[in-house]
Amino acid sequence: MHSRFSLLLIMVVIFVGVSALTRVVLLLSCLNSVHLSLWQLTAIFGIGAFYDLVAAAYYFIPLVIYLMIVPSKLFYSRWHQHFLYGLLFVTGFCILFNAVSEWFFWEEFGKRFNFIAVDYLVYTHEVIHNILESYPIALLLGIIALLNTLVFYFVVSPSSWFRNAFDRHASLKSTLTTGVLLLLVPLLFFMLLDKQHLSNISHNTFNNELAKNGLYSLFSAFRHNTLEYTEFYKTKDLNTVMAQLDKLEGFNNTHRKQIQSSGSEQHYNIMLIMVESLSAKYMGIYGNPKGLTPHLDALAKKALFFDNLYATGTRTVRGMEAVTLSIPPTPGRSIVKRPDNHNMFSSGFIFQDKGYHNTFIYAGHGYFDNMNAFFSHNGFHIVDRTRFSDDEIHFANVWGVSDEDLFDKALKESDKSYAKQQPFFNFIMTTSNHRPYTYPDGKIDIPSHTGRDGGVKYTDYAINEFLQKARSKPWFDQTLFVIVADHNGGSAGKNTLPLWRYKIPLIVYAPKLIKPQVVHKLASQIDVMPTLMALLHFRYESMFYGHDILDKTFHERAFIGNYQQLGYLEQNRLTLLFPNRHSKTYAVTEQRLDGVTYQETPLNSDDELHAITYYQSAGYFYDNHLYSRHPL
């Protein structure tokens, strides 16, 4: 190999060698559970070695680029050789540290790194403290350092390959050519390999996991944003699950249902405002004494107000998923952020089929969190920050234009649809109630950039201004204004699902169309769209898990979750499904504005069956491309 790239060869050998040794150790730890035929062992180590090389190709991309561009004069200098000594030592330490981490992850889950590990990278504060409390970190780091020192000594010994890297100089052309060829290898892997399907060598889960590489599994999980339900959670026989789902949801044998209505279909406009992080706890109507939402509190008394509604997750894209697709939260990232999310059974297509002009209107850049790609392929046109002219932006921060500018843009888009005599459905996503909580000066009595309270109060102010301007529009009397939060105002954390944080408001305001009413029924974010469609007396085919909250037969329940834990709430009982195939039921003994009291109770078999039915079927539909307009 080209002399300077022999450094890469050394590190790849260390990487693959440690990976193979890790595979042996993991195999020995579950020897009684592995299928040990000659063919299976050959496949485990053969396929495993291939994925080790694939992982190495990704892992060392930065090193290849560096070796390509560093000038020869610098590369062959004495101080740079010492720098490379240090780089080799650090790289070896990281490789060994990863191997030890894999062992502990395997011990807990019996799996290679997956989306749970990605989740751990998201919740670094909680995870670091948990690790410090659970393991002898100082001892482990010491052992890793000792092993790494021994490897390092062998590699840099006088007769080693490392010395050979500095034996001869190479031309720039030769260096660049070698580097480009090496960079083509991971690119080829990226294009040809998707998930680690080659590792499916057996019906034995342990065999399949051993044939994987942990780091590549982590990369694949991050790329696909999924956590397979059937691999990690309690399951039932699929036929049992589907039969139970059809019973609960009234689906036919294709898992769909025909929604009927006794009234004549109405094509009122829909102005849906999804408010960033508007937890119920911030609103005076729920008991907050700070006076942060005077306008929304007053509006709730003049509207159809659902005061017992729960968000499905803790991120904006999870709220968008729940409202748009009416599906329980599947483990891993929201479907909005996953690659296979086009042409789904979306409310956007239902409105589109009814003749509506649908627009997703976002204050920021919609490429963030894959929003534009999701909405544009599920029945919506896109108006994000790139569609705002300079004179339409009076204030903006890193997240987007101010809520006032956003709402003014929504008014213009609504006017365009009205001029074409076309009903419109505008899905508006705000951003002002988000760190850094900056907004135009002089609007409210809380200075900009001072915290969440100011963000909440400014959003409340901007919504009121928007409604006042909308009153003068000719389409106002034929429009339903829907205000709902995307999620709670703060992460729910990794280890628990604090129920009180998931409660959010849902307000439907149309003074000429809807009588004021407070609805206390326990409901979910996935029920928003079926309820709106019922108000419009829509008739349509449905795969929605949500229902019309106002229907007398409405079954009260809610779904809450984070990246790992899945919750099902019914009659003050919260059933949790964990990614170690365990489940628990808690009695909700007290809910307050700032907390909830749980008491673990014997597992409720009916609640567990319902939870498994909903979550397992939702995962199955997505994994098999069945939750789409035209299933494969």
Strands 523-524 and 304-310: parallel
Question: In this model, does residue 489 exceed pLDDT 80?
Answer: no
Q: How far apart are CA 416 and CA 134, in angstroms?
A: 60
Tokens for 545, please give them.
Answer: 């898990």
Check if the beta carbon of residue 482 is closer than 8 Å to that of residue 532.
yes
Going along the chain from its start, the domains and CATH numbers come out as: 3-224 (no CATH), 244-548+609-623 (3.40.720.10)
DSSP-assigned letter for residue 579: T
Q: How far apart are CA 317 and CA 314, in angstroms?
A: 9
pLDDT score at 499: 86
User: What is the percentage of the chain residues whose pLDDT exceeds 70?
Assistant: 91
- Half-sphere exposure in the Cβ direction for 372 (13 Å, CA): 13
Which amino acid is residue 63, in one-letter code?
L
Please indicate whether residue 213 or residue 446 has the higher confidence score (pLDDT).
446
Question: In this model, does residue 138 exceed pLDDT 50?
Answer: yes
**345: confidence class by pLDDT, cuts 50, 70, 90:** very high
Tokens for 179, please give them.
Answer: 């580097």
Check if the beta carbon of residue 489 is closer than 8 Å to that of residue 305.
no
**545: confidence class by pLDDT, cuts 50, 70, 90:** very high
Ramachandran angles phi, psi of 547, nearest 5°? -140, 165
CA distances, 25 to each of 29, 30, 208, 623 (Å): 6, 9, 15, 32
DSSP-assigned letter for residue 266: -
pLDDT score at 60: 93
Strands 540-542 and 523-524: unpaired
Task: For residue range 10-69, list pLDDT tens digits in order.
Answer: 889 999 999 999 999 999 988 888 888 899 999 999 999 999 999 999 999 999 999 898
Ramachandran angles phi, psi of 442, nearest 5°? 80, 5
Check if the beta carbon of residue 559 is closer than 8 Å to that of residue 321.
no
Q: Where are the beta strands (DSSP E) in 147-278?
A: 257-259, 269-275
pLDDT score at 453: 95
pLDDT score at 112: 82
pTM confidence score: 0.77
3-state SS, residue 249:
helix
Greatest Cα pair distance in the chain: 88
Convert 319-376 into a string of H (helix), E (strand) and C (coil). Answer: HHHHHHHCCCCCCECCHHHCCCCCCECCHHHHHHHCCCEEEEEECCCCCHHHHHHHHH
Q: How far apart are CA 561 and CA 566, in angstroms?
A: 5
